[in-house]
Structure 1
Amino acid sequence: MTLRYLTAGESHGPALVGIIDGLPAGIAVDSDDLVAELARRRLGYGRSPRMDFEVDRLEIMGGVRHGLTLGSPVGLVIHNTEWPKWTEAMGIEAPDDPEALGRTGRGVALTRPRPGHADLVGMQKYDFDDARNVLERASARETATRVALGWFAKQLLAAVGVHVLSHVTRIGDVATPAEAPLPEPGDLEALDADPVRCADPDTSAAMQARIDRAKAELDTLGGVVEVVVHGLPPGLGSHVHWDRKLDTRLAAALMSIQAFKGVGIGDGFGSAAVPGSVAHDEILPGARTDAGTHFTRKTHRAGGLEGGMTTGEVLRVSAAMKPLSSLMRPLATVDTATGDPATAITQRSDVCAVPRAGVVCEAVVALTLADALLEKTGGDSVAEVVRNLSAYTAGVDRPRGPYDDATADQATYQGDPVEGGRYRAPDGT
């Protein structure tokens, strides 16, 4: 792995911590832009009141000097503005009076795990008697760190003309029309301005109404986010091994986000319902230049990935998010302290987190693509990455025949390969 990152911290701990290693030197860093990116994660209709007071106070601790990355690991901290309320319940040191801590309410052991959450399995796996030891780390609050780290990946990708954005295509049983056009990079501001980050106004209104209904019913809703990436070169990723395929890496990244249960590339599961004659993207010759022919695809069903590699077309990846497991009308569970039937604990929760989850999807896709880019180009500085990618793409469209002369009779070949991977015919041409 060329680019790697880690996060640490609990939802109600003192701070979230992130570190990203492998970024080249020379990425421009604007703290205001980074804070604005974090604010995008708090957007969206159906959000919890928690989003209003859970302000992200970010501090970069290393890897940046005078507005530029240094090539060393970038470390950052997102301070928890609610920490003063939780210093005892989530304190690092053992409490002097555990019984007094329990009387505050926040220190009471949580023993009624939520169905659909990490609560119960985490308690079983780590031998805990308190679900808070699990839910604090399993919380989607952790994604704030990934959004911040993903912002750095987006800046690197933008330096080579690659742009990542997302839009919501489904909330509950309300979905955008199949014929709706893909968003372009210039549509990001309008998408963020929409309450559910949907590109189709009529569908957006229907989605908002569906969220209102779920709220009145004390229920929650899931949905589908599509991440769209413009400007990718062909050949990122590889076909040669399962863990080098970009499909594998993108699916793993998106499935790692809390509450996400499915990933589709291009037409995804829809491809299973049609015959092969209409499932694939026929290849067409595009513009001819001195360098060769630029190939294009007639359709975009594969979503810009074939054989684990980018094709140079627009990348489309969709991810399905289940309804959140924290409900105002709790589901049935068992009290782990007594073994008796109970109702699940209730935590502050969104009715629907899909709109803001799209920003998290952008972040993990950007981190995955930035890793694949650096794997392909190398480069200790942004200038070197740009230069190496330019040299690679300059040869992408060159002729692929066995001779320099594309009209030569390939059946008469008897020679040896020469420079460039081409061949000489018996007559020396």
Structure 2
Amino acid sequence: MRGEMWQDELMLECVTAGESHGAALIAVLSGLPAGIKITTNTLTKALAQRRKGYGRGTRQNFEQDAVTILSGLRHGKTLGSPVAVEIKNTEWPKWQTVMSPDPVSRQALLRDAGRGDERELARNLQLTKPRPGHADFAGMMKYGFTDARNVLERSSARETAARVALGAFAQALLDQVAGIRLVSHVTSVGSVSIPLDAPVPRPEDADYLDSDPVRCLDAHTAEQMVQAIDHAQHTGDTLGGVVQVIAYGVPIGLGSHVSRDRRLDARLAAALVSIQAVKGVEIGAAFLQASLPGSEAHDPLYRADQPADANTGLGTIARPTNLAGGIEGGMSNGNPIVVSAAVKPISTVPHALPTLDLADGSVATGLHQRSDTTAVVPAAVIAQAEVALVLADALLEKTGGDSVAECSRNLWAYLDEVTQRTTFS
């Protein structure tokens, strides 16, 4: 997904709607070719992964994702028409008066206080104390609201459930057209990071990562991450971390150097930073590269006596290192795409942070409701969905085609030409 100023150039157009405590989230994805094989169960599994992870709060236990594909799919295959997905909020009955889209009577917002009097429903009380680190303050100022609920309901990370659902379609497209497969993992939680020589996950490790509480391949590091989360929870604090997405089998030539909005790295960075709480993105080993001399910071090309790589079209060219993370000059170079995202600690801190009550300017503390100790693990799943959406858009930009079969034919014809140009006798 890219910004509004680039909307006309998108192959895939993605829109989400809905509030955190609204009736449902709605996600619409247009531009998908016909013939992608996918089922409701695929989306359900992806959404279940988003709710998992060590350090998650109690909300994930009772707020289920009831997903329905409303359009664009028939008998397990996309039709080429826009896909619309609904994710119902199972908590809606508790909120339908407070979050009603239509006006409600004053009486409907009152409850029996138990002493012969009536009080306003707690859920309907105005939230006038913006929480530091959230969208509350800036949103209230921008839109002229006196109640932060008008901001926080949409700015909530609950919206990412819709992105994960659409990301499932994108991942199916990538796999079925080009054999591109993605995997995501957590590389750090708080001050605990995986060692430099830790194994790099591959797609076949996805089941293990899905079952690991902190989504980490290295068992010793995973144990330390769990301990760090336990300590933060005990002390009433929250933790951030870093997640990484790796895409294997990405063909050379996705994206372009000709315009800033077509650069693959720019599109990936924008998509990842759009995730709530993500404050930074690294392509490949960017920060390590920044500390190296130029003679050591890049990925040389070598002749290699090996069969051509049918997926990437690299022929007999080998690149032993991948400091660039699979992207050079805004284009994929045939190596795996590697992107990392820095996730800040959750802003809703149990030890509530200082703020002001905008109703009267008095000193106050930010509202603290139930929350996670860390959301780094689900952030990896969300990041994987975002990377998939960007790569799917770039793939369709390169291949064109109204069906999976046509996209595949166009891609393999291009890769055959690239392989011939990079195969030397």
- Normalised to the residue count of structure 1, the TM-score between the two structures is 0.91
Report how far residue 287 of structure 1 moved.
4.0
Q: Alpha carbons of 1:100 and 1:269: their partners in 2 closer, same or farther (altered >3 Å)?
A: same
Where in structure 2 are the equivalents of 1:297-316 lying within 5 Å? 297-316=319-338
**Residue of structure 2 in register with 1:204 after alignment:** 222
Q: Note if contact 1:182-1:228 (Cα within 8 Å) is conserved in structure 2.
A: no
Q: Following the alignment from structure 2 to structure 1, what is the Cα–Cα distance between the partners of residues 242 and 169?
A: 25
What residue number does 1:418 align with? Answer: none
In structure 1, C-alpha distance between the alignment counterparts of 2:406 and 2:247, rounded to whole Å: 22
Q: 1-side partners of 2:153 and 2:107: how far apart?
A: 19
Structure 1 distance, partners of 2:129, 2:373, is 21
How far apart, CA to CA, are the structure 1 residues paired with 2:305 and 2:17?
49
1:127 aligns with 2:144: yes
Q: How does 1:204-353 map to 2 (within 5 A)?
A: 204-287=222-305, 293-353=315-375
Which string of whole-angstrom CA distances, capped at 9 and with x for unpartnered residues, describes residues 260-297 of structure 1? 00000000222111111111111112346799943121
Which runs of no fewer than 5 residues in structure 2 stay unpaired? 1-9, 111-118
* Superimposed CA distance per residue, residues 398-422 of structure 1 (whole angstroms, 9 cap, x where no aligned partner): 3379xxxx99xxxxxxxxxxxxxxx
The answer as to 2:167 corresponding to 1:150 is: yes
Deviations 1:11-61 (A, max 9, x none): 000000000000000011221122111101011000001001111001111
* C-alpha contact 2:326 2:333 (8 A) present in aligned 1: yes
Q: Are positions 1:65 and 2:74 aligned together?
A: yes
Deviates more, 1:271-280 or 1:42-51: 271-280
Match of 1:424 in 2: none
Report the counterpart of residue 7 of structure 1 in structure 2: 16
What secondary structure, in the 3-state scheme, does the structure 2 residue paired with 1:89 have? coil
Q: 2:395 aligns with which of 358, 370, 373?
A: 373
Distance 2:217 2:186 in 1: 8
CA 179–89 in structure 1, closer or farther in 2 if over 3 Å, else same: same
SS at match of 2:386: helix
- CA gap 1:99/1:42 in 2 versus in 1, 3 angstroms: closer
Contact residue 285 and residue 293 of structure 1 kept, 8 A: no
Which of structures 1 and 2 has the bigger CA Rg?
Answer: 1
Q: Describe the shift of the 1:400–1:346 C-alpha distance in structure 2 as closer, same or farther (beyond 3 A).
A: closer
Q: Equivalent residue for 2:98?
A: 89
RMSD over equivalenced CA pairs, Å:
1.7
1:392 — aligned with what?
414
Structure 1: tracts of 5 or more residues without a match: 408-429
How far apart are 1:198 and its partner, in Å? Answer: 0.7
**1:77 is aligned to 2:99:** no
- In 2, the alpha carbon distance for the partners of 1:79 and 1:117 equals 25
SS at match of 1:228: strand
Q: Does 1:41 align with 2:63?
A: no
Cα 1:289–1:80 change in 2 (3 A) is: closer
State the Cα deviation string for residues 56-102 of structure 1 (Å, max 9, x = none).
00111111111110000000110000000001111111121179447
Distance in 2 (CA, whole Å) between partners of 1:207 and 1:292 is 38
Amino acid aligned to 1:23? L
- 2:196 partner amino acid: A
Q: 1:26 aligns with which of 27, 35, 39?
A: 35
CA contact 2:240–2:376 (8 Å) conserved in 1:
yes
- How far apart, CA to CA, are the structure 2 residues paired with 1:189 and 1:395? 35
Which residue of 2 is the match for residue 195 of structure 1? 213
Whichever residue aligns with residue 11 of structure 1, its letter is S
**Secondary structure of 2:419's match?**
coil
Q: Distance in 2 between matches of 1:247 and 1:136?
A: 31
Give the match for residue 162 of structure 1.
180
Q: Is residue 62–residue 75 contact of structure 1 (8 Å, CA) maintained in 2?
A: yes
Supply the distance in 2 between the matched residues of 1:394 and 1:233 (Cα, whole angstroms).
11
Q: How does 1:349-360 map to 2 (within 5 A)?
A: 349-360=371-382
- Whether the aligned pair in 2 keeps the contact of 1:2 and 1:374 (CA below 8 Å) is yes
Task: Indicate conservation of the 8 Å contact 2:317/2:422, yes or no.
Answer: no
TM-score relative to the length of structure 2: 0.92
1:178 to 196, 216, 224: 196
CA contact (8 A) 1:281 1:300 kept: yes
Q: Secondary structure in 2 aligned to 1:398? A: helix
- Once the two structures are TM-superposed, the CA of residue 104 in structure 1 deviates from its matched residue by 1.1
Compared with structure 1, are the counterparts of its residues 365 and 98 closer, same or farther at alpha carbon in structure 2 (3 Å cutoff)?
farther
Bigger drift between 390-399 and 252-261 goes to 390-399
For the residues of structure 2 that align with 1:107 and 1:333, how far apart are their CA atoms?
Answer: 21
Deviates more, 1:180-189 or 1:358-367: 180-189
CA contact (8 A) 1:292 1:398 kept: no
Query: In the aligned structure 2, how far is the partner of 1:263 from the partner of 1:162?
Result: 22
2-side partners of 1:260 and 1:148: how far apart?
19
Q: Which residue of 2 aligns with 1:421?
A: none
Structure 2: distance between partners of 1:292 and 1:111:
58
Letter in 1 for 2:130: P
CA contact (8 A) 1:287 1:293 kept: no
Deviation at 1:397, TM superposition (A): 2.6
Deviation per CA, 1:275-324, whole angstroms, max 9, x where unpaired? 11111111112346799943121211111111101111111100000001
